[in-house]
């Protein structure tokens, strides 16, 4: 009789455990689960961490927060962390570690350790990393990766587009179009989300202005928040882009200037090449290739 009672209690306990095992929420409103993927604390797949009051994290509260922010991707991790974004900045592959119950609802799974339960809104297309450098766009060309060492009030490129670009909408194209519309011929991107502009003229020399320091191209590796296939600078260094409506509106960086006559046309073309002061091995830097002009 006693053994039978113990057996019954044990069986009921097993049923209770089975009932409390958390499961993945497959759909919620217009959101759909697209699986569990790995993540890294040093380079998050989704950029924005969203706080939920009183640690009451659920799949629903996280996705509602992401939706309210205009994001198309939402993800949960460690049982009580919520991340949002418009691009999957880094892809770490599928993970089987999404098994932690949500802090606000233990019947739901909210990711796991370095594992992200990922959701997509209304099947909206999104881009994924890893990012690469955009070498040219319209009459802009990529210049290089510069080390931003100035304080906030003394940036290398102190201006911005006339209409500010929200961080979650940042792409190289939006930054360059914004700088061009504001009348600038130089643009820089930083931290995957910031756009800076300025008007820079060349003086014919090859001396790098004080405070401008080139750095390893690999330091500019932050994906743009709205397009994870593109690099938008880095945490400290940032990319420089330059354009020219005339041959004078170019960056006066560490460059050599050479006029090369095209065969028999009577026209010249301005060719620029980056000089590395440090002597460190940098990848090729593509600079301004202006439209040909008559040389009288």
**8 Å CB contact between 100 and 21:** no
**Structure tokens belonging to residue 148:** 């931003």
3-state helix, strand, coil in the chain (%, to 5): 15, 35, 50
Tell me how crowded residue 72 is: count the other CB atoms within 10 A of its CB.
Answer: 20
**8 Å CB contact between 115 and 36:** yes
Q: 4 φ, ψ to 5°?
A: -65, -40
**8 Å CB contact between 118 and 211:** no
**Angstrom distance (rounded) from CA 274 to CA 290:** 16
Nearest one of 197, 252, 203, 219 to 133, comparing CA atoms: 219
Question: Residue 13 has what pLDDT?
Answer: 43
Say how far residue 55 (Cα) sits from the centre of its chain: 28
**Angstrom distance (rounded) from CA 94 to CA 53:** 30
Domain locations in the chain? 22-124, 136-294
Nearest one of 204, 187, 209 to 196, comparing CA atoms: 187
Measured distance between the N- and C-terminal CA atoms of the chain, rounded to whole angstroms: 112
Q: Residue 192 has what DSSP assignment?
A: T
Q: Span 22-124: which CATH code?
A: 3.50.4
Question: Residue 98 has what pLDDT?
Answer: 98
Question: Residue 53 has what pLDDT?
Answer: 74
**Angstrom distance (rounded) from CA 117 to CA 106:** 15
Q: Residue 45 has what DSSP assignment?
A: S
**8 Å CB contact between 170 and 188:** no
Q: Could you list the pLDDT tens digit for every one of the 296 residues in the chain?
A: 434 444 443 444 443 444 579 999 999 999 999 999 999 998 899 989 998 876 789 999 999 999 999 999 999 999 999 999 999 999 999 999 999 999 999 999 999 999 999 999 999 999 998 888 888 788 887 777 777 655 555 677 788 999 999 999 999 899 989 988 998 877 888 888 888 888 765 444 344 444 555 666 777 888 999 999 998 888 755 666 654 322 222 232 322 221 111 233 333 333 333 333 332 222 222 233 334 333 23
Enter the pTM of the model.
Answer: 0.63
**Angstrom distance (rounded) from CA 198 to CA 201:** 10
């Amino acid at each position: 009789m006693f053994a039978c009672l113990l057996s019954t209690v044990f069986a009921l306990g097993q049923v209770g455990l089975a009932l409390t095992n958390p499961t993945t929420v497959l759909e919620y409103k217009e959101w759909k689960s697209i699986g569990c993927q790995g993540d890294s604390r040093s380079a998050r797949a989704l950029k924005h961490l969203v706080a939920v009051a009183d640690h009451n994290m659920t799949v629903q509260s996280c996705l509602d927060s992401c939706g309210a922010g205009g994001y198309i991707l939402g993800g949960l991790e460690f049982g009580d962390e919520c991340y949002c974004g418009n691009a999957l900045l880094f892809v770490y592959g599928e993970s089987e570690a999404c098994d932690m119950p949500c802090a606000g609802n233990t019947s739901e799974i909210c990711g796991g350790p370095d594992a992200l339960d990922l959701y997509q809104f209304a099947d909206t297309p999104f881009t994924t990393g890893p990012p690469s450098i955009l070498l040219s766009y319209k009459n802009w060309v990529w210049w290089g990766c510069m080390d931003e060492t100035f304080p906030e009030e003394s940036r290398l490129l102190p201006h911005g587009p006339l209409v500010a670009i929200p961080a979650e909408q940042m792409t190289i194209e939006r930054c360059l179009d914004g700088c061009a519309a504001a009348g600038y011929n130089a643009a820089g991107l930083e931290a995957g989300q910031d756009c800076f502009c300025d008007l820079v003229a060349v003086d014919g020399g090859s001396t790098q202005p004080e405070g401008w320091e080139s750095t390893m191209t690999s330091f500019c590796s932050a994906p743009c928040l709205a397009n994870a296939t593109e690099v938008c600078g880095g945490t400290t260094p940032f990319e420089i882009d330059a354009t020219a409506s005339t041959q004078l509106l170019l960056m006066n960086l560490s460059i050599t200037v050479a006029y090369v006559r095209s065969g028999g046309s009577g026209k010249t073309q301005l060719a620029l090449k980056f000089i590395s002061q440090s002597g460190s091995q940098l990848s090729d830097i593509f600079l301004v290739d202006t439209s040909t002009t008559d040389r009288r």
